Amino acid sequence: MPPKKKSVALVLALALTLILLTTCALPDFDLITYPPWSTIYNAARDERSVVDILLDKAISTQIKTALLQENGELGLKVKVYCFLRRVTLLGQVDDDAFKALAVATAWETEGVRGVGTGWVAPGRTGTTAADLHIAARLRAALVGDQDISATQIEAEVFGGRVYLIGIVRSQQDEDRALAHAMAVRGVTGVTSFLFPLEDSGRAPEER
């Protein structure tokens, strides 16, 4: 193998080893759910480091697992997102006690430095086929926009309303994401939990 190719292979091997070692040190981390090779791919367009991505996924997994253990039915209704240790809890839940428990669980998770919530009034049918279609169309639009890092933006849809969660580099990027959401047929409104990278120390806020 030529020296240059050997160097590239060595760097990749060292990077994968570092990721695996970091992953093994994280509590309750599932290698099957979050394989490190997918993390390497996602990191190519993500402002976060590979270690940050792994830590965020570990935190969200730990919180979700705790909620499911407390109440399987209600735990399934709560979406848990984490970006740079800032957690956003989103779901169609009307049980105030469980919502308070979810927030407390997030704050008690090691490494968390901010918690935001977006509780949605439960609908009669929950997420519909139309909602899934909207989410798929929006994901395609975000991925197709080379000026936005789609690996940093997640979207949930309830009754036609879109909820955007994640990190943006600027207000302009947030505006682009909002415009993509509003352009999807069937969308009735958009709520943003996006925050700029420089504000990563603050809790996510609904806008």
Residue 206 lies in a domain: no
| Domain CATH number, residue 62 | 3.30.300
**Average per-residue pLDDT for the chain:** 79
**Structure confidence by residue, pLDDT tens digits, 103-116:** 999 999 999 999 99
More confident residue, 202 or 136: 136
Q: What pLDDT shows up at residue 133?
A: 94
Question: Pairing relation of β-strands 86-92 and 114-120?
Answer: parallel
Q: 23: pLDDT confidence band, cut at 50, 70 and 90?
A: very low
**Structure confidence by residue, pLDDT tens digits, 152-171:** 899 999 889 999 999 988 88
Residue 207 lies in a domain: no
Q: Are residues 52 and 140 in the same domain?
A: no
| Domain CATH number, residue 139 | 3.30.1340.30
Q: 161-197 burial, b if ≥16 CB within 10 A, otherwise e?
A: bbbbbbbbeeeebbebbbebbeebeebeebbbbbbee
Q: Are residues 20 and 111 in the same domain?
A: yes
Q: Are residues 38 and 139 in the same domain?
A: no
pLDDT of 22 above 60: no
Domain total in the chain: 2
Q: 77: pLDDT confidence band, cut at 50, 70 and 90?
A: very high
Residue 205 lies in a domain: no
Q: Are residues 16 and 97 in the same domain?
A: yes
Q: Are residues 9 and 53 in the same domain?
A: yes
DSSP string, the chain: --HHHHHHHHHHHHHHHHHHHHHHTSTT--TTTS-HHHHHHHHTT-SS-HHHHHHHHHHHHHHHHHHHHH-HHHHHHEEEEEETTEEEEEEE---HHHHHHHHHHHHHSTT--EEEEEEE---SSSS-HHHHHHHHHHHHHHHH-TTS-GGGEEEEEETTEEEEEEEESSHHHHHHHHHHHHHSTT--EEEEEEEEGGGTTSPP---
Report the predicted TM-score, pTM, of the whole model to 2 decimal places.
0.72
| Boundary-marking domain end, from 70, 87, 120 | 120
